[in-house]
Structure 1
């Protein structure tokens, strides 16, 4: 993996526990599933998985920022922590997943790239639950995939992350593969 201790954290929007629990609920996680949280940040979604399922789910977290990746290890989440750039990882390096739960970086439309990459790592029958900006780029590139796959595009309350400084609206995207 690439050592990226010097990568500054992107503008970080921490997923509140209640929303993290909702995301995990929508993922329909079952015993034996392999799960990934790309761009894990503080690990909010992994913590929700552990609250709900204990140690019974095989979890992988990817985080580009070195100090944040170490923070994930320090939390004792019993997950494989990959310190690297999710977008540069290959299927051979990271594997495939039954479930992917994610709150990708929102800046500069990076959520689109992260979600599209995540879809390439889903096993047949897999499920992805992700937050994304509810903006023109996301509606152009992601919403057609959701509609084609008969997924769900659920708008969250306006300016959901306002208390964390976000000005954009956010949607919850749910896709079965």
Structure 2
């Protein structure tokens, strides 16, 4: 079931607290009814007493699937590791403007779909990957210069890289957390290029607003990817590419 874009925008501005979802702003009757229909299809039930839609589990998990994919799906998706398709890797590399000898960080390296082609261009690539089985695949393939098996968000930033190129996890806006953390690893004049959920273009959460302020301050931009760009990887998540410089150009 495809969800209209105006309903997705309403959900992107909604407030969640545990199992509760509260719509914000003033909605006309048709938009409210359309939104309520989507919420009910996603598992939410209106509670007059709570003045909110209630879900069996966390409301954010249910509504996030709608925001990320633009659809109501019958099976719950997890928005963690999805291999980056070759066409998306090509776009990332184009935006990154890589040159041989550059110091590059790939902080959500998966099995090396991004890091491998970058290393083949003559760049010095360091990889960080949380899942050991993925890290083993990178190691076995001989990709990159250094490999750390650790939660990237737990790594203390150090300004060492000309480029960061990444496809972070998306669950609960983890893409924003990873991108903002990764930006701190760039040298002045460096550039970050990342796949992100297109929710960063319209959501109005505190985290989204913080990201949008950083994007504007650094003179960055967002570039849409085609619908279904990650279909071959098993997800209908809608995505953009963020291109964010740091400091002096």
- Report the TM-score range of the alignment, normalised by the length of the smaller protein: 0.7 to 0.9
CA deviations on 1:65-121 (whole Å, 9 max, x unpaired) are 1111111100111421111111101136xx621100000011111111100100111
Give aligned pairs, total. Answer: 164
Partner SS state of residue 142, structure 1:
helix
Which residue, 141, 145, 155 being the options, matches 2:210?
Answer: 141
Q: Flag the structure with more relative contact order, 1 or 2, with Cα contacts below 8 A and sequence separation at least 6.
A: 1
Please, what TM-score do these two structures have when normalized by structure 2?
A: 0.60
Is residue 98 of structure 1 aligned with residue 167 of structure 2?
no
Superposed CA RMSD:
2.1
Shift of 1:139: 4.7
Query: C-alpha distance in 2, partners of 1:66/1:10?
Result: 18
Partner SS state of residue 240, structure 2:
strand
Partner SS state of residue 209, structure 2:
helix
Query: C-alpha distance in 2, partners of 1:141/1:70?
Result: 35
Say whether the 8 Å CA contact 2:116–2:144 is kept in structure 1.
no
Query: C-alpha distance in 2, partners of 1:158/1:141?
Result: 26
Say whether the 8 Å CA contact 1:41–1:63 is kept in structure 2.
yes
Correspondence for 1:157: 226
The aligned runs of 1:67-106 (5 Å cut-off) are: 67-91=133-157, 96-106=160-170
Shift of 1:10: 6.5
CA deviations on 1:135-156 (whole Å, 9 max, x unpaired) are 1257533333223322220121
Query: C-alpha distance in 2, partners of 1:131/1:78?
Result: 20
Please, what TM-score do these two structures have when normalized by structure 1?
A: 0.83
**Structure 2, gaps ≥5 residues long:** 1-77
Cα pair distance change 1:15/1:122, threshold 3 Å: same
Shift of 1:159: 4.1
**Structure 1, gaps ≥5 residues long:** 1-8
Higher Rg: 2
Which residue, 147, 152, 174 being the options, matches 2:243?
Answer: 174
Query: C-alpha distance in 1, partners of 2:197/2:184?
Result: 20
Which residue, 36, 57, 74 being the options, matches 2:123?
Answer: 57
Cα pair distance change 1:157/1:10, threshold 3 Å: closer
Partner SS state of residue 128, structure 1:
strand
Say whether the 8 Å CA contact 1:143–1:153 is kept in structure 2.
no
Query: C-alpha distance in 1, partners of 2:154/2:229?
Result: 30
Which residue, 101, 107, 110 being the options, matches 1:32?
Answer: 101
